[in-house]
Amino acid sequence: MSEAGRITDSECDKVMKQFHDNSLIAYSEAFKSFSMESNRVDTFYSDRLANEADLKELWKVVKLVLTLSRGQATVERGFSSNKEVMVENIAQHSLVAQRVICDRVHSVGGVLNVAFSKELLLSAASARQRYHAVLNENKRENVATRRSERKRSLLEEISTLKEKKRRLESDFETLKRSARDYAEKAESSGKLTLIAKSNGMRRTARGERRTD
C-alpha cells in the first residue's frame, strides 16, 4: 500500500506498531469467537477500531483491505446484472437504483423474502412526486445553464469588441503621429513627397476613425 501511494511511509510505521500494540489484546476473545454466519466483518472491525484515536492509521488500512475484491466472480456477476437491467438511454442514477434493488433482492434470497415495511410503502407511494420534483429541478438547472452560457457569450463578445476598439484607437494615434512627423519633415526640408505621404496617412487615419 505504501508503494501504491495509498498510505505514507510514516503511516506505514504507525500501522505496524498499532497492529502489534497491546491494546488489541482486549479484543482477543471477540476475534476468536467471531462467526461469519452471524456477523459482518466490516461491522466487527468498525466497532473495535473506528472510534479508537490511537488506532486510526490501522483502521484506515483495514478499510482499504475490506474494499478489495476477493475474486473475479463477484465483479463478473455485477457486469451480468448490469446487462440485465440496462436499457437504451437509461440515466446513471436509474441504473444505480436498479442495481441497489437487485442486490437487495439477491441478499434476502428472492422477491418473496422482501419485507414490505411501512417506510418502503411510503417511499413507493411518493416515487412519482419525487420524479416530478427531479424533472422540475433539472429544468431549472438547464435554464440557469443556458442563461449562464448566453451571459458568458455576451461578455466574450464585449471583450472582443473592446479589444478591437483599443487596437483601432492605437492604429489611429500611430497614423496621426506619422502624418505629423512627415508634415514637419516636409516643412523643414521642402520635399513635396513628404507632404503626399503625410496627407495619405491622414486619410487612412480618418478611415480608421470612421470604421471605429
pLDDT (0 to 100) of residue 76:
55
- Closest of 56, 33, 57, 55 to residue 44, by C-alpha: 33
Express as a percent the part of the chain with pLDDT over 70: 72
CA distance 48 to 35: 16
| pTM score, whole prediction | 0.35
Express as a percent the part of the chain with pLDDT over 90: 8
**Residue extents of the structural domains in the chain:** 9-66, 73-115, 130-211
pLDDT, mean of residues 119-148: 89
Residue 137 grid cell: 429541478
81, 99 Cβ separation under 8 angstroms: yes
- Segment 24-38, tens digit of pLDDT: 666 777 778 888 777
- Segment 51-96, tens digit of pLDDT: 888 888 888 888 888 877 665 555 555 556 556 555 555 667 777 7
Q: How far is CA 76 from CA 65, 81, 94, 100, 128, in A?
A: 20, 9, 20, 16, 33
Q: Which of these ranges, 1-10, 122-131, 198-207, has the smallest mean pLDDT?
A: 198-207
